Amino acid sequence: MLVQNGAVRSGGGRDTTRVARVCFLDFDHTLFDTDAFFHVDVRNSFRHLGIGDASWEHGYVEAWQAGYTLERHAEEMCLQSGSQVATLDEMQRILRESFADLRRYLFPDVIPFLDRASRKGVGLYLLSFGNPDWQRYKLLGARIGRYFDGIFFTGREGGKGDVILGHAGGGEQTLVVDNNPSELDVIRGVVPTATTYCINRVPENVVIPSDDMSRLKFLEARTYLERPWRYQHVPCRTLDEIPVR
């Protein structure tokens, strides 16, 4: 499967004459538990090396400005903390050995949903915001690329609407699932016939975190709950609520 920044379509061999609808799926916080992966497990895996919160945060900012990857983040943290080359080598070893297979971070309903949608002939498209290398790394680690007829990365906030406008089939019902209501608002503005689902993966009992672990576990996902909606989207908590039957 060819995956690039921008509009990319894979040749999955699906019989598209049977497709009654198409479904565009966000990745982070929709299919993939990014906070548990990144803010909890990756961060904790470096603590025994003396990498503290200040180095983590500073390294993240510097790496994001340069085009985020975990390897770049590790390099920046070592520079910030004054660590030796051996520490960087150990961080890189941890990333290779512990964070190559990321299937454990898929939400439990993801594979059943993708299997069900594929059996029903739904055209599936992944539409993800973020640095292409960073998004590609997580997608490859999650090992779900085979399910999608097309995979799109956009580094521009609000850019998903143009992708959907250019690739939603004529006459097909278009479903969009995303945790970011701001993106869904833009999508509805350019594709008013789309049915948009705003998925919330944050459990009700940790919307207000009680400790540092619960704060980190849904650190980014929680911020989207505070964003206003211009359009009415269908609220949901799981992919089981998306009609692909």
Backbone angles phi, psi at 29, to 5 degrees: 70, 5
- Spatial contact of 114 and 144, defined as CB atoms under 8 Å apart: yes
Backbone angles phi, psi at 174, to 5 degrees: -105, 120
Query: Exposed, middle or buried by CB within 10 Å (0-12, 13-18, 19+), for 160?
Result: buried
Instruction: Report d(CA 63, CA 92) in Å as an integer.
Output: 15
pTM of the full structure: 0.86
- Write down the mean pLDDT value for the chain: 86
Instruction: Report d(CA 107, CA 144) in Å as an integer.
Output: 12
Indicate the pLDDT class of residue 182, thresholds 50, 70 and 90: very high
Domain 16-32+103-241 has CATH 3.30.360.10: no
Q: Give residue for tokens 């779900």.
A: 144
Contacts of 11 (CB under 8 A, 6+ apart): none
Indicate the pLDDT class of residue 139, thresholds 50, 70 and 90: very high
What mean pLDDT do residues 1-8 have? 40
Q: Give residue for tokens 């993939």.
A: 32
Q: Where are the domains of the chain?
A: 16-32+103-241, 36-98
Identify the pLDDT of residue 4: 41
Q: What is the pLDDT of residues 71-120, one digit of tens each?
A: 899 888 888 766 665 688 888 899 999 999 999 999 999 999 999 999 99
